Structure 1
Amino acid sequence: MRYLYGLAILCCLVLWSSCRNDFETVASTGNLEFSKDTVYLDTIFTNIGSSTYNLKVYNRSDEDINIPTLRLAQGEASNYRLNVDGMPGKVFENIQVLAKDSIFIFIETTFDINNLPTDPKNFLYTDQLLFDSGGNEQKVELVTLIKDAVFLFPEKYADGTTETLNLGQDENGEDILVKGFFLEDDELTFTNEKPYVIYGYAAVPGNKTLTVEAGARVHFHDGSGIIVAQNASMKSLGLPSLDREEMENEVIFEGDRLEPAFADVPGQWLTIWLTSGSVDNEFNYTTIKNSTVGILMEDCPVTLKNVQIYNSTNVGLLSRTGSIDGENMVINNSGQSSLAIQLGGSYEFRHCTFANYWTNGFRSFPAVSLDNSLETSTEILVFDLIKADFKNCIIYGNERRELSLFQVTGGAFNFNFENCLLRFEDPTGEFDNDPLYDFNNSALYTATKFNLDPVFQNTEMNNFNIETGTSGAENIGKPGVLPLTDLNGTSRSNPPDAGAYETTVFPED
C-alpha cells in the first residue's frame, strides 16, 4: 500500500511540474549570441514578398534567460515581418530562452517602392532587430535591396475572374484557356531602364512585334511566359558585353525570385512560345534560364545567335516543324532533351554546344533528339525532316548516348553531322544494324569525332568553355564555317574548334 502511496505522490509531483508556467529565469544581460549579425534578405521586386530567412538566437549560459523585449526598431510601422518561436508579430515581450538552448526567428518583407518620396530604381531598405533595451540592448541588422520594375499582368474583373487567352480547342472541342493578356502598343518595347515582371502569359498580337532591347531583364512569375501569335514577331536584340559575368548588354529571361538560392532552379516559369505562323523571330545575345521549356516553337522560323538556354525542367529548345538558323548556341541542364526536334522541319546549327548534365533526377532522353513524327492520342503525325545540318558542333553529356534519331516511314529524314564531336557509346552493339547510326557513312557523319572528352570548364555552373591542349573538340572544326568569332568574341583558329567556344587556358584552382 505504501508503494501505491509513494507512486501517487510521484505522479502529483510530475503533473505539478509539467503545469508550471512560472519558470525561474534571469534577465538578459546582453550576452545572447546570434547565428549572424546581419540578415541579408537579398534582392526582391517591389510588392513581391521575399523568401523566409531565419536567425538563430543562442543562450550559451547555464541559466534560463528572459528577454524583456524583442522588437523591430521601426515597430509596427516596419515592412519586415517576424515569427518568433511560432508567434507572429513585430514587437514581443518576455521571450524565454532555456539554458544551453536557442530559439528561431523567421523574417520576411514586402515593400512598395512607390511609397517613397523620390523615384529610385533601387532602394536599400533596412531595419534592426532589438533585443532588450538600455545597456543590455543587442542588435541584429536587417538589409534588403528593393528593385523597381514594370509589372505586366492580366486584368482582374469585378466578378473575381481573371483575363484569359483562348488558345483554340482541344481534341474534345473544349476551349483551351490560359491566364494571360495581349500586350498593348505602348508595351511592345522592353527597355533596359527597369526590369519587367510578367504574370500569366503576355501575348504579342498578330501583325505586331515585341522588341526586347539590349540589356533588358525580363522576369516571369510562376506559371507565366510569352506567346507570339500568328503573324506576330519577337526580337530579342542583345549585344556583346564587356563583362561576361555581369552580361550588361545581354537580354536575360528568368524567374522573378532574385535570391541566390533560386539562381539555377529549373521550372520557375513556363516558356517563350513561338506559335504557328509567327514570323521573323530573332534572338541574339540572349540567355534563357530556369523555365519549363526555354523556347517552344511550332511551324515558324527563328534565328538564334549567341543564345544560351539553361536549367529547363523539360526541354531547352523544342521545335515542331520549325525552321532554325542557329550559331554560337549553348544549351544545357534539361530534364529531357536540350534540343528536341519533332515533326520534321529545316535546321542548320553552326558552332553550337548541345550538352546535358542534368543531375536533378533520372533522365531518359538524350541531349539531342531528331524525330519526323509526333504521336497523339488518335494518330501518328509525320512531316518531312527537310534538313538538320550540324556543323562544328558538340553534342555531349553525362549519359552514354546523347543522340537519338527516330524516323517514321512516309516522311523524309535528312541530317548531317559535319566536323562535330558526339557522345554515343554502344558497347553491346545495339545500334550496329541501324543505318541511321552508321558512323562510317560520310553522307551522314562527315569528319565527325566520337566520345572524346571535350573537357568543359564547369558543367555544374553552365560554363562550357573548353581547355587548350586537352579538349577533344580542339582543332576538329571545318575552316570557314560562320561565325568567325566564338561566344566570347574570340577569333576562331584555323582549323577552328568545335562548339560555341574556342579553347582557352583554364585558371588554376
Structure 2
Amino acid sequence: MRFLLPLLLVFSALLCLLPGCEPKEDLFTTDGSAKLAFSADTVLFDTVFAQVGTVSKRLWVYNRNARAVKVSEIRLSDTNPGTYSLLINGDETKAATDLEIRGKDSLLILVKAVLGPNAADNKPFLVDDQLLFNTNGNEQGVRLVAYGQNAYFHGPEEHIRRNTTWPKNRPHVIYGVVVVDAGVTLRIQPGTRIYSHAGSAMLVRGTLRINENTNPTAELAPTDTATFVRFQGDRLEAFYTDTPGQWAGIQFDASSSRNNLVRFTEIKNASFGLLIYNPLNGPHPKVTAENTILRNISGAALTFASGGQSFDGSGVLGFSGDFDLRNCLFTNCGEYAMLGYGGTYDVNYCTVANYTPQFRRNSASLSFTDKPVAQQTALPNTVRVSINNSIVWGSIRDELNFENGQLYRPNVVIRNSILRTEEYAGATDVGNKLGFDNNNNQIGPIDPNFPKFKSSPARSIGNKYDYRLDTLSPASNKGVFNPTIPRDLLNKPRSVTAPDLGAYERVNP
C-alpha cells in the first residue's frame, strides 16, 4: 500500500501529458493562416423557375489542419434577401456561430434557393449571393449563383373553361392536374416549353391542338427550339435529363375528347406519353400525332382511380381509342412504345428504336390485345393495326406482340416495314401463328445493329443517340411514297420514287 500513492501520482502525471488532457483552448489553432477548404468555389443552380424551390445542393467545408478550428461565423451576405437558405447541423438558418470542425474533418452545408419574380419578365435572370466564413479573423467566401426564369404556373387543379392559347414567351409549369374542359380547345404555340412537377398531368376532356397551323418551309435541326413544343419534367439538373417517370403524361378523356392534334412535339420523361382511357369501350376519342418524339417513358404500376386497374407505362397507351401516328419516333420506353387494349392504330413512317439501356425490358415494344379492360364492357374490344413504311426495332428479339391475334388477323396489315421478330417471322399464317415476312417487309436478323441507325446503344457508347439512318441502312430507299406525308419528322422532303423507311429520310453522305 505504501507504493500505491506514488504510483497513482506518476500515472496521473503521465495522463496529463496526453492530448486529451490539454486545456480545451489549446486544441484549436488560432493561426490566422489556418484556412478552410471547400468542395466547390461556386454553388450553381442552373435554370430555376421563379417562386419554385430548388433541390438542396451540398457544400462540404474541410478543415485540412491537424488541429481543430472554430468557425466564429457562417452567414449569407444576403445580397438578394430571401433567396437562399442553409441547413447546418440539421437547422435551417441564414447564419451560425462558433462551429467547431475537428482536425482533418469536415462540415456539410445544404443550400437551397427560391427565386422571386424578376423584372426581366420573359428572359433568364441571374440571382447571386455569397456564403461567408470567418475563422480566426480570416474571411473566406463561396459564391451562390442561380439562373432564374419566370414562368406561367398551372394547377394544382386548374380547369381551362374557355378556348385558350398558351403562348411561348415564357415556360409553362404544371403542378397537379390541368384539365381542358369538355367543349373547350387548348392551343399551344410553336416553341412552347411545358414543365411538369412530379405526378402532374394534363387531362383533355375537350380538344388539344399543338402546332396545328405550323408548316415549316425548310428542314429543321434535331435541336430545333423555335418549332417543336416540348413537354418534360421540371427537374432541370443534368442527372434528370433522361430519367423517365418524372410526371404522368397527357390523357384524353373517353366521354368528350375529340379532334386532338399533336404536331412537332417532344414528350419525354413521363409515365406515359399520349393516353386514351376508354375502359367501357364507348365512342372512341381520336388523337393524331405527327412529327412527334416520345422518349424516356416508364410508368410501372400506373393506377387509374376510376377503375382501380394497374398498368405499365407506354409512349402511346390506348384503351379503346384511335391513334393516327405519322413521322413519330419512340425510344427508351421502359415497358412499351405502344400498348393497345382495343382501338385503331394507324402507323405511317414511324421509327420504333426502343433500346432501353436503363431498363431490363421483356415486353414487346408494340403490343396489342382484344381483351376487355373492364369486365362490365358491353361492346367487343376490336383491334385494328396498320403499319406502313416503318421500323419496329429494339433491344429484345420480339418487338411485336398480338395477343389473340388470330381472332382479329384481317384487321392487321403490315407493309414495307422492318420488323424485329422471331414469333412472326413466317411468310404466311400457320394456324394461330401469324406471319409477316411478306408485303415487302424485312424481318431483321438477330444482329441488333441491323437497321443501322447513325448511333444507338447497340452501336455506340453514351446516351446521345441519333436514330436517323446510316448510309448503309437496309431501310434506305425501301419505302413507298405516300403523297399525304411528303416530308419526314424534321420536315425534310422524302424521295418520291424510293423514300426511306421510318421517321427520318436518310441523311445525305
Cα 1:393–1:65, aligned 2, differ >3 Å: closer, same or farther?
A: same
Asked if residue 300 in structure 1 is aligned to residue 285 in structure 2, the reply is yes
Q: Does 1:101 align with 2:105?
A: yes
* Residue 74 of structure 2: aligned partner: 70
1:404 to partner: Cα distance: 0.5
Structure 1 residues 406 and 376: alpha-carbon distance in aligned structure 2, compared to 1, 3 A threshold: same
User: How many angstroms does 1:270 deviate by?
Assistant: 1.1
- Structure 1 pair 5/222, CA: closer, same or farther in 2 (3 Å)? same
Pair 1:147 & 2:121 matched:
no
Counterpart of 1:269 in structure 2 is: 247
Q: 1:433: how far off?
A: 4.9
**Contact (CA 8 Å) 1:373, 1:380: kept in 2 or not?**
no
CA pair 434-98 structure 1, distance change in 2 beyond 3 A: farther
User: 2 CA distance for matches of 1:427 and 1:409?
Assistant: 12
Tell me the distance in 2 between the aligned counterparts of 1:322 and 1:294.
14
TM-score (norm 1): 0.81
In the TM superposition, 1:42-57 aligns within 5 A as: 42-57=46-61
Structure 1, 372-381 or 359-368: larger mean CA deviation:
372-381
Q: Are residues 243 and 64 of structure 1, via their aligned partners in 2, closer, same or farther at CA, if it must alter by over 3 Å?
A: farther
Structure 2 distance, partners of 1:20, 1:437, is 87
Contact 2:266 2:293 in 1 (8 A): yes
Distance in 2 of aligned mates of 1:481 and 1:416: 19
Q: Name the counterpart of 1:438.
A: 435
**Unaligned runs of at least 5 residues, structure 2:** 279-283, 299-312, 458-462
Q: Deviations over 1:165-220 (max 9, x none)?
A: xxxxxxxxxxxxxxx3421327x211101111222221112211111111111222
Task: Give the secondary structure class of the aligned counterpart of 1:475.
Answer: coil
Letter in 1 for 2:348: R
Superposition pairs for residues 417-456 of structure 1, below 5 Å?
417-425=414-422, 433=430, 435-440=432-437, 442=438, 445-451=439-445, 453-456=450-453
1:312 maps to what in 2?
297
Task: Identify the residue that residue 260 of structure 2 maps to in structure 1.
Answer: 281
SS of the residue corresponding to residue 373 of structure 1 reads: coil
Pairwise mapping of residues 26-175 of structure 1 onto structure 2 (< 5 A)? 26-27=30-31, 29=33, 31-74=35-78, 77-113=81-117, 116=118, 119=121, 121-132=123-134, 136-154=138-156
Are the counterparts in 2 of residues 30 and 137 from structure 1 also a CA contact under 8 Å? no
1:15-34 maps to which residues of 2 (within 5 A)?
Answer: 17=20, 23-27=27-31, 29=33, 31-34=35-38
CA distance in 1 between counterparts of 2:386 and 2:259 reads 21
- CA-CA distance at 1:120 after TM superposition: 5.3
Structure 1 counterpart of 2:507, from 500, 504, 509: 504
Residue 184 of structure 1 corresponds to: 161
Match of 2:396 in 1: 399
What CA distance in whole angstroms lies between the structure 2 residues aligned with 1:290 and 1:143? 27
Mapped partners of 2:24, 2:95: distance in 1: 21
Secondary structure at the residue paired with 1:249?
coil
Offset at residue 28 of structure 1 (A): 5.0
Q: Partner residue of 1:177?
A: none
Contact 2:174–2:201 at 8 Å: present in 1 too?
Answer: yes
Per the TM alignment, residue 84 of structure 1 is displaced from its structure 2 partner at its CA by 3.1
Matched, 1:323 2:336: no
Q: Counterparts in 2 of 1:234-383, with a 5 A limit?
A: 234-237=208-211, 239=214, 242-276=220-254, 277-297=256-276, 298=278, 299-313=284-298, 314-343=313-342, 345-376=343-374, 382-383=380-381
Q: 1:464 aligns with which of 458, 462, 467?
A: 467
Letter in 2 for 1:279: R
Q: Distance in 1 between matches of 2:456 and 2:416?
A: 24
Amino acid at match of 1:244: P
- SS of match in other structure, 2:323: strand
- Relative to the length of structure 2, the TM-score reads 0.81
In 2, the alpha carbon distance for the partners of 1:366 and 1:407 equals 15
> Retained in 1: the 8 A contact 2:122–2:170?
no
- Counterparts in 2 of 1:305 and 1:131: CA distance versus 1, 3 Å: same
Q: Distance in 1 between matches of 2:114 and 2:320?
A: 45
Amino acid at match of 1:150: Y
Moved more, 255-264 or 206-215: 255-264
1:219 alignment counterpart: 195
What CA distance in whole angstroms lies between the structure 2 residues aligned with 1:117 and 1:351? 46
Write the letter of the residue equivalent to 2:77: A
CA distance in 1, matches of 2:202, 2:261: 14
Of 96-105 and 124-133, the range deviating more from structure 2: 96-105
Larger deviation, residues 32-41 vs 286-295 = 32-41
For the structure 1 residues 222 and 329, does the alpha-carbon distance in structure 2 shift closer, same or farther, using more than 3 Å as the test?
A: same
Is the 1:416–1:446 Cα contact (8 Å) retained in structure 2? no
Name the count of aligned residue pairs. 468
Shift of 1:503: 2.8
1:371-423, CA deviations, whole angstroms, 9 ceiling, x for partnerless residues? Answer: 222354677974222x3211111111111111101127765651122111111
Distance change (3 Å), C-alpha of 1:18 and 1:198? farther
Aligned twin of 1:157: none
Out of 232-241 and 364-373, give the one that drifted further: 232-241
2:421 and 2:17 mapped to 1: Cα distance? 70
In the TM superposition, 1:476-487 aligns within 5 A as: 476-480=478-482, 482-487=484-489
- Measured against aligned partners, the alpha-carbon deviations of 1:121-161 in whole angstroms (never above 9, x if no partner) come to 4321110112228983222211111211111224xxxxxxx
Classify 1:355/1:17 alpha carbon distance in 2 versus 1 (closer, same or farther; 3 Å): same
- Residues 27, 68 of structure 1: 8 Å contact kept: no
Partner of 1:163: none
Check whether the contact 2:406–2:434 (CA below 8 A) recurs between aligned residues: no
